[in-house]
Amino acid sequence: MSRRRIEGSFVALITPFNEDGSIDFGAFRTLLDFQQRHGTRAILFMGSTGEASMLSPEEKKALIVETAKMKTGAMDFFYGCTGNNTESTIANLRFARDNGADGAILAAPSYICASESDAEAFFLEVADATDLPLGIYNNPPRVKTDLHWDNLLRIFRHPNYVVHKESTTRVGQVAQVIAGRPDVSIMCCDSPNLGLVLPTMSLGGHGTANMTGNLAPAELATISKPWQGYAEAVDFRETYLRLLPLWHYVYSYINPVALKSLMNACGLPAGSLRRPLRNLEGEPLAKGVEIVRRLGLDEQYGYRIRDLHCNRACADAEGQIGCTSTRRKRISPPEDCSAIGPRAYFESRMSTVVWPLKTTTRRGPSAVISKVFQRPAAFGKGSETLAKSTIAAVPKVGSLRVSQMFTS
């Protein structure tokens, strides 16, 4: 087998689901095109980000077969093929090899807590059973087996191993592996809690094996570019510091809860998490959306951020101006509101609902505030009167968030 070195952003892709819980292969095609257009070098399917542990064996096989048909040659397609024992792992590797995979990423089988020597023997045995390019994912928080750099360097003498992803907090481990100069691409997890990205890249690492590239692929491509000189270091520093708020957010919940929830909010075809995991809603999700907007990622990637509170608003705002954002209707309004009445006219111009805020104070049960009074003339005759009456009817409940509710 000819060895090849992968350099750059290696994105662990989410698994998109349809509403009925089945895998959404049309969404996969969309997400892969998005990654390719923004500089991603390789894709990992069926990692922890892809909810692999909750996919059935049949789903895993279908995922390999169908996504392998989507290859364009611009990105390498690797698949998580770790089974619950040596034999099942070998079977997974052979299936992937026969159905178009470019490579596979392996972790130690989870839950059994294998010793370092047993794990080393596992990696060597499965490598002997295939000619598929392989990578090791040293991820003790997930699998409860941790490989020392001595074990790793011995394993990397096997010609089938081409990638290493480190997910410990040990900078010294990364340094020792790089110092050993194995003929593999040395990468790390992009979690800011582990703190490996800066030391890995500055010591000569070849990229990051990341999940944040699902949302910010161009930024991760910049961060994951090997340093050849001062220019790469400067680009890395600026992008790394800028992206810190997003990194901390997507890793603030177990992977991929925050990531997939935020992708859905941004209009990417991610689908729901598989139970028992649940999508974030309300204030926890709003924090992530605010970060996306503050970083300008919504404009950069053309994200169409959904109204996070539309469903609740429709229920809570009874008697107020109705919500039409979930219906996505576009009504052509008359030249002024006198023909149909100001309230109906406002409803016809509404694009998103404002956040109704419940209060336990004595000042009122709920409140809905709008920005209509800022430019009432734009909505025809009679709108100024309605705006004033709307403002007067809103109880004072302290600091309220306000969102745009009219089309421009």
The rounded distance, in Å, linking the Cα atoms of 314 and 357 is 12
Where in the sequence numbering do the catalytic residues fall? 137, 165
State the CB neighbour count (10 A cutoff) for residue 348.
17
Give the 3-state secondary structure of residue 136.
strand
Residue 159 · residue 133 · CB < 8 Å: no
> What residues have CB less than 8 Å from 67, skipping those under 6 apart?
25, 28, 32, 45, 77
- State the DSSP string of 347-405: HHHB-S----EE--STT-SEE---SGGGSGGGG-TTHHHHHHHHHHHS---SS------
The rounded distance, in Å, linking the Cα atoms of 354 and 357 is 9
- Cα torsion at 57, 120, 160, 165 (round to 10°)? 80
Residue 355 · residue 320 · CB < 8 Å: no
The rounded distance, in Å, linking the Cα atoms of 400 and 408 is 23
